[in-house]
Structure 1
């Protein structure tokens, strides 16, 4: 917002030419007087000696010759606007100094008659330096945040896959903050059901006082304490080993829960009649029921999906582990039902930590077994095969199977899912084009950054910006 003098003819009437020139020189860091042919007639500046080298030689040169090529369209627009009498507007121009150095200047242009235009400029180097520092600090913050997230993901993976049963307890309240799946299985609770419960409440009444005394002893002494709960009415034969540690300002107790017969219990897993070749196959193998709920998965599939334990897969819909639309899953299952088997169905496995892997799926119907269901073999594509095979496969596969789905799926669902495939492909192409720069990708796609983030989350697209 600007405000101009209301009565300059009254208050500035006595100002002579030299006074006006002094005012212009004092008001601006760099002042240029440009004639009607865009040649610099005169200039003044208040720049330091290190920055002003060569500026005096600009007199008599075309003004375009002293600015960067990228700034010339802005310069022309500024001069044209001033000569046409448009309201004063600020324009950012980059000058070229000796030694290929830049001098960013913000100009306001005024026509003073006789074909001459006065450019009043403010040195923007301090602003540019502050912006540069802000950008460096922001990038450093983003790197630190990314490293922290990676460390948290590594901790979470180690915690959940540890063979030991571990419970993290608040030292003051005695309430459980975290427990890994192994501890939940030994204690006989769902993993999510342990958080917020008192550790002592998980045991029989005659054992609760001992558990509370153990926690109090660890907190008071700071030394590890072991409690044997075997014998009595509790036939689990548990042993608790508690140790105090700090996490910032929090005082926490790590309790290791051990069970003498745990090793034999782990070996007594259900046998689905699969031989060692299937269990140890390099390809991922899934068995599902007719509704697509996972019944069994081998180790190779767990590795592809980034899932530490088979228990985290069993009972979930197999489509949860693939990056595709609902129509693609329907097409795959429909073809398996109709033909008994499907080969080379392209897909992408989405891992628990955001990574994706291009794969080929083969499926077979197993309707004569109990319970009836399907078997899937998932083969990871090599990087060369992924580049050659993916391309427009999502769109092509949707188009090829569109006719088969007519009559089985409402048309609005067909149109919606096909549109989703196209949107996803455009976002992935924009991210590849811009080197995973989300801000640039959003500009390429004509979206706001927030809209791009929402669509990436919707389609399960990960980026390492």
Structure 2
């Protein structure tokens, strides 16, 4: 240890109080021990530290080794053994016990006072360092989580990139060379397109299409977007629609290019003549045909539907909710759409169609959902089945159920309280039967119509003896 050159001369007139001030200022915590290692006094470098060591006055008169945590005692004893040696102080990490609260981490060093049986323990508070280390660990963990999320996102998008059925390529915006291509592009152009030196992306198209593709890419580079171009491939056999988007990666500019085949699949493969005949068939079909959005609003309808709905033109029907015309109750169309989404095409769903001027007719509805080629939409075929009904009773006639007739015969014979209870049971049973009929015996949909849980519906079915209840059908 390199000390003062002439301490006797420079510190000779230093009294005890001044020396205590200097020693206390030298560390955050200073502990003065006697020859036996017993604490005789304690000082703090600042007034803010003292409250953290609540109960420190109880240390005085106790062995210093007993005031540290159990795992720190061997290091405290080593410090006391090293104190008499005139060497560089060795700092050791100890945890100081506090009566109230967790132990406080401190960095301790010891020094023996010359010609006196006194040992001074200097302590530095490690809590700021510990808090900084904790924040560093948390920041490192957060970075690792972010890196993991980025790797997962990169894996997902790379998998999506490779699984795309359409050719997709990443093109250097300056040299117009292929940087990366998915499997569909490799199958279309060959896997050597990206690896061949000297070849550009434009070579994938015929001579007439190359200037158009180049002009489209220039528009994307300058304006950020451009219209798709329809060009032929280099083999001259197929047409493709080329679209592009500009990407910035570090200091480089890249194009994300997608190729689409207009007549790849679906109705478009029929050609203009085939599409025309199909539309002509829908327009002249005797059954009503309606196309609706996901929310049930009408997109288009053929003349047969307009006639049944008592509407003059298709423009009057477009944008109107289909539930305005279709369904005896407001929830019937919701039940139909729910079954359509859950189970696919629905056939021969019985309901009623209401005209704009009040006319009603019994109909059967078949429906399908279309999810390709744009936003999902629903197609409904509606057939008038009113002529199939028995002529002895009009479809619009309202008949009183037999149980209700029996109840009316009891008026005056039984108390009103019992009559009301019986009527409630009859109405409840009729409502459950109607819900089961409307939902096609789908008990989950019937429970939703009635505002009941499935468990409550099964209890009522068992009570009224409705349906064929098996133990495996009941909800768990």
- Normalised to the residue count of structure 2, the TM-score between the two structures is 0.49
Check the 8 A contact 2:206/2:236 in 1, yes or no.
no
Cα drift, residue 84 of structure 1? 3.8
**1-side partners of 2:203 and 2:131: how far apart?**
60
Cα drift, residue 178 of structure 1? 2.2
1:59 aligned residue: 60
CA 1:221 to 1:32, structure 2 compared with 1: closer, same or farther past 3 Å? closer
The answer to whether residue 226 in structure 2 is matched with residue 227 in structure 1 is no
CA 1:196 to 1:108, structure 2 compared with 1: closer, same or farther past 3 Å? farther
**2-side partners of 1:197 and 1:8: how far apart?**
84
Secondary structure of the residue aligned to 1:244 is strand
2:215 aligned residue: 213
1:387 aligned residue: none
**1-side partners of 2:263 and 2:236: how far apart?**
11
1:41 aligned residue: 40
Map of 1:130-209 to 2, 5 A cutoff?
130-171=132-173, 173-190=175-192, 192-193=194-195, 198-209=200-211
- Normalised to the residue count of structure 1, the TM-score between the two structures is 0.50
Check the 8 A contact 2:24/2:43 in 1, yes or no.
yes
Tell me the matched-pair count.
261
The answer to whether residue 124 in structure 2 is matched with residue 125 in structure 1 is no
Secondary structure of the residue aligned to 1:107 is strand
Give the structure with higher Rg (CA).
2
Cα drift, residue 196 of structure 1? 8.9
Cα drift, residue 52 of structure 1? 3.2
**2-side partners of 1:128 and 1:234: how far apart?**
69
CA 1:82 to 1:150, structure 2 compared with 1: closer, same or farther past 3 Å? same
**2-side partners of 1:134 and 1:110: how far apart?**
34
1:32 aligned residue: 31
Farther-moved stretch of structure 1 (208-217 vs 187-196) = 187-196
CA 1:45 to 1:109, structure 2 compared with 1: closer, same or farther past 3 Å? same
Q: Deviations over 1:182-203 (max 9, x none)?
A: 1122012337516995321333
Q: Deviations over 1:232-255 (max 9, x none)?
A: x72441413213254577664332
Root mean square deviation, CA, Å: 2.9
**1-side partners of 2:200 and 2:262: how far apart?**
24
CA 1:43 to 1:240, structure 2 compared with 1: closer, same or farther past 3 Å? same
Cα drift, residue 75 of structure 1? 1.2
CA 1:218 to 1:86, structure 2 compared with 1: closer, same or farther past 3 Å? closer
**2-side partners of 1:195 and 1:76: how far apart?**
74
Secondary structure of the residue aligned to 1:60 is coil
Cα drift, residue 109 of structure 1? 0.6
CA 1:194 to 1:162, structure 2 compared with 1: closer, same or farther past 3 Å? farther
CA 1:241 to 1:79, structure 2 compared with 1: closer, same or farther past 3 Å? same
**2-side partners of 1:43 and 1:5: how far apart?**
25
Q: Deviations over 1:366-412 (max 9, x none)?
A: xxxxxxxxxxxxxxxxxxxxxxxxxxxxxxxxxxxxxxxxxxxxxxx
Check the 8 A contact 2:178/2:194 in 1, yes or no.
no
**1-side partners of 2:264 and 2:181: how far apart?**
17
**1-side partners of 2:154 and 2:91: how far apart?**
47
